[in-house]
Chains A and B, each alone.
Chain A
């Protein structure tokens, strides 16, 4: 799995939880993040590999089964990692980079983004995760909602995911995040599949 987005969206925590869930389910797992030099605002990428035995923590280009993007431009930027026919789950959110705000570059249209994605796969799911997280009352649950949508395609049992979440989050935010995860799972099942 390949998770991408913008620094500050909770991507590293999301892949930590995927890795914990895989470990709980008894798999070998490796995960690695490539963060830029600063804390916030840059493009963030996190690789997770689950299997009987995992060697490289980095996934080969064109080898990703599931791409989870927390932002649309980042989905387009990194979708060449996706294998042909792989799954792309994209949060319906545009965060224009500074160069776009300054008028020096142009944010691609939804059609352009979809066209780029379509070169890799037809299994593309646009999700209103930011809106759902806001409806739940905490925008920071965005990552768990996205995780929920992706979990449908990963052969791990629900309890492994939820145990992973419980393990990594402090008790006061555990419940809302598990709810966000379940909502994401439900939304993918009911709306998109």
Chain B
């Protein structure tokens, strides 16, 4: 057999040519089998459904949705400044009669909740879909929250796919439902759906956008004065009732019959786990989880001896089903905390007597007594220098041979924010005291100052996070005559989520040159007079800037600029340690640079990791001048 794949049009329309043993040529354009992640499938589904405007702010696990959409030239895709703006741009497009999409992570919907609620109130003029990716298990978030509650709060329909195939198919329904019922639609996924790849049969072509953009005056629908909003509320209740009726026959709300002893109501990835744990049971698999199909649920419950709900995080389905008077259990034996898997569900099933304890699999968590491997700042990271500086000025580092477990009381309080730089929290840097949510560092530091903390206060925030929601915090600090020091770590990208553009970079989501918002001008424009821009790899500059800012009685901003080493891999001759000069003081190890390794009585630099001249931070801080280019050390020795 010979297979040949020809990739056309940016890999999205791959033509599958298959020559079988009989030599028969089978050629099918309409049907394609692809391996797609949930995020890729959602993006392709939206594209085929005729989406014209797509907006997002990067956030794990949702980021790849907009990245995939941005590869199409025939739609408009943007990295918005933050999720609230993303939602507002998409609303505007939907008001103008064009299909729009917002993708965000669970905490992103918190940021965007104000316009989200407003969009529910006004309704739309063309399909508007919000894809919200929750993060059960907190793989990459600051909290664990179940955003299904938002559907109930906003009284909007919610769809949940259980694999990539459904993710692809559901997008077309989501846009249709949005238009049919005059409502934004929430498509809720989780990390395990977004970041799992599975087989997808792609069977559609892109639907041409139905209409040209066109906005008609309709103040009672779009201008939410109290008098108009009061008229909208009963319409929303009516809409919800109509949606509940629609849910009764919605294709993706399916009863899958097995034995009638046990009926399981489930949705999303939990369905896949439950199916494996209870292969014999009957299932009511819900593709629309708000509003719920009451009659379907009643009839399902009547046909089985016992009904249980298997769902990740909160008892959302369970409580809504109980409110219908149906006797169900679920959270009594399925945890409400963390990500589920087959093991957890089997254990729950055993606890409640639904499964016998027959699996003698020898499972022992060997991970417990092995050294942990937390993520680190990369070799050549522009954040390392500033954290080392703060750590040493604030006396936060623990000397290498010290047996003290916790870092001693620091002379600085450092409020942190969301980004790669949150990793500065870990030892040996220990350079962060708080990290709450996007943009919180500045407000947190100001609050501590106003509360009367006598120590010097430093707020750390990245460039993308500052654009996202640091600006308003800074305006507030200027207005209230705050005296804190704000350090903006400007690595020219949104690094943690995989290097997305932002307003400061001057490059669009689709890779085109656009207007850049100048960070320094912006900060000065807000009214900060003490602004310093320093090279993030120049230790002397950093130290002087931090010292003078801490001594200054007024609000000061330091912009520490240096490119992300992963994104700009400018490698040159790696540094090395001259073992004759090195006295094993361990100061270089305090950087936490993964390239600097220790082997009993020797400290050395892993040449495959060191970025060389672009960084040289270890070289600058070595008190014995023992670090230099390998060639120079050898040349000096041969003299």
Q: B373 in the interface, Cβ–Cβ < 8 Å?
A: yes
Is B119 in contact with chain A by the CB < 8 A criterion? no
A79 to B195 Cα, complex, angstroms: 23
Interface size class on chain A is 35 or more
* Pairwise interchain contact A38-B376, C-beta atoms closer than 8 A: yes
Contact A103 B376 (CB under 8 A): no
Contact, CB under 8 Å: B427 / A23 = no
Given A55-B273, A80-B367, also A39-B498 (CB < 8 A): yes
Given known contacts A29-B199, A30-B198, A32-B192, is B373 in contact with A42 (CB within 8 Å)? yes
CA distance A66 to B608 in the complex (A): 29
**Cβ of A47 to closest chain B Cβ, rounded Å:** 9
Question: Is there an interface contact between B272 and A55, defined as CB atoms closer than 8 Å?
Answer: yes
Q: Which residue of A lies closest to B339 (CB)?
A: A58
Give the interface centre of B60, B195, B346, B495 by most chain A CB atoms within 10 Å: B195
Give per-residue flags for A77-89: 1 if the beta carbon is below 8 A from chain B beta carbons, else 0. 1111001100000
In the complex, what distance in Å separates the CA atom of A154 from the CA atom of B35?
Answer: 19
Partner of B276 from the list A56, A101, A120 (CB cut-off 8 Å) is A56
How long is the Cα–Cα vector from A29 to B33 in the complex, in angstroms?
12
Question: B residues within 8 A CB of A38?
Answer: 375-378, 420, 423, 496
- The A-contacting residues of B in range 319-357, CB under 8 angstroms, are 341-343, 346
* Contact, CB under 8 Å: A101 / B589: yes
- From A55, A76, A120, residue with most partner B Cβ within 10 Å: A55
Q: A38-B376, A77-B367 are in contact. Are A101 and B195 (CB under 8 A)?
A: no
> Which residues of chain A have C-beta atoms less than 8 A from B33's C-beta?
23
- The reply to whether the CB of B26 lies closer than 8 angstroms to some CB of chain A is no
The number of chain B residues with a CB under 8 A from chain A is 60
Interface string of A46-58 (1 = CB under 8 A from B): 0000000011111
Q: Which has the most chain A C-beta neighbours within 10 Å: B140, B198, B341? A: B198
- Are B596 and A101 within 8 A (Cβ)? yes
Contact, CB under 8 Å: B272 / A57: yes
Q: How far is it, in angstroms, between the C-alpha of A23 and the C-alpha of B199 when the chains are bound?
A: 8
Question: A40 and B370 in contact (CB under 8 A), knowing A54-B198, A58-B341, A60-B342?
Answer: no
Q: Evaluate whether A39 and B495 lie within 8 angstroms (CB atoms) in the complex, with A23-B33, A57-B272 already known.
A: yes
Q: A37-B140, A58-B192 are in contact. Are A84 and B362 (CB under 8 A)?
A: yes
Find chain B residues with CB under 8 A from A84 CB: 361-362
Specify which chain B residues have a CB less than 8 angstroms from the CB of A189 in the assembled complex: none
Residue A24 CB within 8 A of the other chain: yes
State how many angstroms separate the Cβ of A11 from the closest Cβ of chain B.
Answer: 13
A98-B594 in contact given A30-B197, A36-B375, A55-B275 (Cβ < 8 Å): yes
Instruction: Answer whether A36 and B361 are a contact pair too, CB < 8 Å, given A29-B199, A60-B343.
Output: no
Within 8 A of A (CB), among B226-282: 269, 272-273, 275-276
State which residues 1-28 of A face B: CB under 8 Å: 6-7, 16, 19-20, 23-24, 28
User: Chain A nearest CB: distance from B605 CB in Å?
Assistant: 12
Minimum CB–CB distance from A57 to chain B (whole Å) comes to 4
Query: A62 to B566, alpha carbons, bound, how many Å?
Result: 36
Instruction: Add 16 more A-B contacts to A36-B374, A60-B342, A119-B364 (CB < 8 A).
Output: A31-B198, A35-B140, A38-B423, A41-B375, A56-B273, A57-B272, A60-B341, A61-B361, A62-B361, A73-B370, A77-B366, A97-B374, A98-B376, A102-B427, A102-B589, A163-B3
Query: Which 6 pairs across A and B sit closest by C-beta, in order of nearness?
Result: A42-B375, A62-B361, A38-B375, A41-B376, A32-B196, A105-B371
Could you jot down 19 A-B contacts, CB within 8 Å?
A19-B35, A23-B35, A23-B199, A33-B195, A36-B374, A39-B496, A39-B498, A40-B566, A41-B594, A42-B374, A55-B275, A58-B192, A60-B361, A61-B361, A61-B363, A76-B370, A96-B371, A108-B371, A120-B362
Interface residues, chain B, with chain A CB atoms under 8 Å away: 1-3, 5, 33, 35, 60, 139-140, 163, 192, 195-199, 269, 272-273, 275-276, 341-343, 346, 361-367, 370-378, 400-401, 420, 422-423, 426-428, 495-496, 498, 566, 589, 592, 594, 596-598, 608
